[in-house]
Amino acid sequence: MKMTFILASLLCSSLTFASLDQYTSGYKWISHEKTVKAKVKAKKRGRRSISSKVEVDDSRLSKEFKSFRKTYLSIKDPIELEKQLRHIDKNYDSYPDDLKLVAAILTPMLEMKSFAYRMYPLLKREKVTHSVLLTRVYRFASFMSVNLPTDQWDAGFRFMSEPFEYEMTNNRFHKTSDLQEFVTNKIYPALAKAAERVQALDFSTNNMTWDHKLLYGTASFQDEFKRYRLIGESERLLLLANLHYGLSWSARFSAYNVSGTLSLVKDMGSLYGIDSMFGFSKVDGVTAKKIVAKINKRKYKKLFTILDGGKEKMQLSFKHLREAARVSVVAWEEMKERRNGEANESALIRSEMFESFIGRIDRGAETFVDIVNGPTIVRSDITGEVITVDLPKFLMNPPKDLKSLLPTSFTSADDMKSKKIANKSGKMKSVKFRNYHYGKATSWELKSYNTLLPEVKNGDDISTAARILNQSPGAAPVALIINPFMMYNR
């Protein structure tokens, strides 16, 4: 069942919408050459010290930031919240950099208005799915009331979960295509706008002061201890990278057909015994073979197939992933250098927390950049085995049907095994026990993986390639693509 959720979120779909490229027309993409130069500058910044006389406190905040903070921390209901978000979005260009960063982070939230309410018709069609997600929302509400008991958090939760205009009853998600259209036409543009805004900022010479009270609300930091932190260029770049990860996912979400996903989730539930819990259906172990057979049923023929314009959206998804990799490695170059300097003491992200993993993160960041630049040899940290991956070629020429990545062969042994064991009197008795490798995936269609793993010659070796990727720092983007099809999470 978990497999279906992963497949749906990994590379999903939309109908025919306007090109997403229009939303990034003003964005300045970083080239490989510029990445190399930016890393040199970042290293110098990381070694730079700041004056010991500088106090990181309220006095470093702009008057506009303080004014916004006062208004924001007085918010008690979702209508006030929306009004304030629209205000800072409209007046963004007039603000100093500290408030611009806050506005860039917060304003995408506007598109999430009444999101849970709008999702209800789509989820209620499949009771199992709705029950699972509803339980998670309940848990978050409980967590919030205990750990974040402020008016601001409550207003935000209500903003995303309650209806506010009657007309909204006609603007809910009844089909997966409705949700896909929302992501394509609302979420992607909002994130693209935020990315363009964050990119235009520059904290390489002047750090920004951050007030934790904005996040934790009025009841927090009464004694001011650890309330204020510095946001430097590395933090800005990490935020930008995360926006690109979100944009990459959003573009993937509009490339493939996921109509029928919830029906498949329900079908998967019957395998696990969820729908049979109070009936008379036999529930046995769920093998990879059973799951693949369910996904390959005729009624799911169009599920996970690429849509018109899907190839271009996958190419855009890769473009965002590459940008995230390049921006991240520049951010890390500064962060690792400043870990012993004064600048690190007041930083929002203190790099000393990564001290034990410096080497691994270093290699991972560089490997990630190599992977998005072209064919790369990846080495397992555990076994020393190597594999060549070509992520750009795979994502620039995506599969027409994701189901082609599913395993094609499985172990054929019986589901039960037996062996003879001596009893107390020494007599050998036959004992049966379950064969936990029964139905395990053993081979995959080689041609479906040729672009991603160009040197693999046998479909049986796809799982070996997956293992090497999982054991190599920086290869996570590739491993995340193929792991669901290895059927680990069955």
DSSP per-residue codes, 206-250: SPEEEETHHHH-TTS-TT-TT-EEEE-HHHHHHHHHHHHHHHHHH
Q: Please check whether residue 134 is in contact with residue 180, taking contact to mean a CB–CB distance below 8 angstroms.
A: no
Q: Check residue 56 and report its DSSP letter.
A: -
Per-residue pLDDT band for 125 (boundaries 50, 70, 90) equals low
Q: Which of 48-57, 104-113, 233-242 has the lowest mean pLDDT?
A: 48-57
CA distances from 380 to 5, 238, 370, 384, 446 (A): 28, 26, 16, 5, 21
Per-residue pLDDT band for 470 (boundaries 50, 70, 90) equals very high
Q: Check residue 407 and report its DSSP letter.
A: E
pLDDT over 90, % of the chain: 47
Residues linked to residue 430 through DSSP beta bridges, in sequence order? 420
Q: Which of 143-157, 206-220, 236-250, 447-461 has the lowest mean pLDDT?
A: 143-157
**Mean pLDDT highest for which of 2-11, 172-181, 287-296, 390-399?**
390-399
CA distances from 156 to 111, 160, 234 (A): 12, 6, 28
Tokens of 320: 């965002």
**Terminal C-alpha separation, the chain:** 7
What average pLDDT does the chain have?
83
Per-residue pLDDT band for 273 (boundaries 50, 70, 90) equals low
Dist. CA 64–CA 318, nearest whole Å: 38
Dist. CA 108–CA 124, nearest whole Å: 27
Residue 425 sits at φ, ψ, to 5 deg, of -85, 0
Sort strands 208-211 and 441-444 into parallel, antiparallel or unpaired: unpaired
95: closest CA among 69, 76, 116? 69
Look up the pTM and report it. Answer: 0.84
Dist. CA 138–CA 160, nearest whole Å: 14
Residue 196, pLDDT above cutoff 90: yes
Residue 402, pLDDT above cutoff 90: yes
Q: Which of 58-72, 166-180, 377-391 has the lowest mean pLDDT?
A: 166-180
H/E run at residue 430: strand 428-434
At 387 the three-state DSSP class reads strand
Residue 55, pLDDT above cutoff 80: no
Dist. CA 358–CA 381, nearest whole Å: 15
336: closest CA among 45, 32, 38, 30? 45
Dist. CA 10–CA 388, nearest whole Å: 22
What angle is formed at CA 409 by the lines to CA 403 and CA 410, rounded to 5 degrees?
115
User: Which of the two residues, 269 and 176, has the higher pLDDT score?
Assistant: 176
Dist. CA 272–CA 129, nearest whole Å: 13
- What is the predicted pLDDT for the residue at 335? 86
Dist. CA 70–CA 214, nearest whole Å: 10
Where would I find the beta strands (DSSP E) of 220-330? 228-231
Tokens of 161: 């979960």
- What is the predicted pLDDT for the residue at 279? 36
CA 118 to chain centre: 22
Residues linked to residue 228 through DSSP beta bridges, in sequence order? 211
Residue 117, pLDDT above cutoff 60: yes
Per-residue pLDDT band for 440 (boundaries 50, 70, 90) equals confident
